[in-house]
């Protein structure tokens, strides 16, 4: 199997994967689910990167979390750009955020099934879910889409 083929297969493998929840904020880096607050704290500490996988229309409506890389799973080259983000993150985890946690959870399951590690689900998303209020309601900073795109590394464009 070629690397490009293997990278694309993970999107198709949406089988259920067990997720371990630990409630201590001190162990956030070892968990597979983070709150929006934990994700933002990790960004500020430079211990993680975050990718917003929502659509361009959603970014235009709400903005993008400050410091978050907008890489839509609905656009061409998504797998290549996602893996490039992980490469740029190095040993840091890459948080995945969407609107309410559904797409990011499915994506994390597919990545885990394909044996890719270093990714985390920000399960409350931008808008909130049963797991929490979300990035926006938590009052975490957002920037307009054009500012988020301008601050992205060139390798992710």
Which position has the higher pLDDT, 157 or 121?
Answer: 121
> Considering the entire predicted model, what is its pTM?
0.82
Average pLDDT over residues 124-140: 96
Share of the chain above pLDDT 90, in %: 78
pLDDT recorded at residue 104: 96
Task: Dump pLDDT digits (tens) for 111-124.
Answer: 999 999 999 999 99
Task: Dump pLDDT digits (tens) for 26-46.
Answer: 344 456 899 999 999 999 999
Task: Dump pLDDT digits (tens) for 9-26.
Answer: 444 443 333 333 333 343
Name all domains of the chain by residue range, CATH numbers in brackets: 33-152 (3.40.250.10)
Is residue 65's pLDDT more than 90?
A: yes
pLDDT recorded at residue 3: 52
pLDDT recorded at residue 148: 97
Per-residue pLDDT band at 157 (split at 50, 70, 90) = confident
Q: Which contacts qualify for 107-111: CB closer than 8 Å, 24 or more apart?
A: 107/11, 107/53, 107/73, 108/17, 108/32, 109/13, 109/14, 109/15, 109/16, 109/17, 110/10, 110/11, 110/12, 110/13, 110/14, 111/10
> Cβ of 141: how many Cβ atoms within 10 Å?
11
Collapsing DSSP to helix, strand or coil, 101 comes out as coil
**Average pLDDT for the chain:** 85
């Amino acid at each position: 199997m070629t690397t490009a083929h293997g990278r694309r297969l993970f999107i198709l493998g949406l089988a259920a994967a067990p997720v371990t929840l630990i409630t201590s904020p001190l162990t956030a880096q070892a968990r597979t689910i983070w709150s929006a607050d934990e994700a933002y704290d990790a960004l500020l500490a430079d211990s993680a990167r975050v990718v917003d996988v929502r659509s361009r229309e959603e970014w235009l409506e709400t903005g993008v979390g400050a410091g978050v890389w907008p890489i839509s799973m609905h656009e061409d080259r998504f797998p290549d750009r996602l893996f490039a983000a992980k490469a740029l993150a190095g040993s840091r985890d890459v948080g995945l955020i969407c609107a309410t946690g559904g797409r990011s959870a499915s994506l994390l399951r597919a990545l885990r099934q394909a044996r890719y590690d270093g990714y985390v689900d920000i399960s409350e998303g931008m808008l909130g879910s049963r797991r929490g209020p979300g990035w926006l309601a938590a009052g975490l900073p957002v920037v307009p889409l054009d500012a988020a795109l301008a601050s992205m590394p060139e390798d992710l464009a």
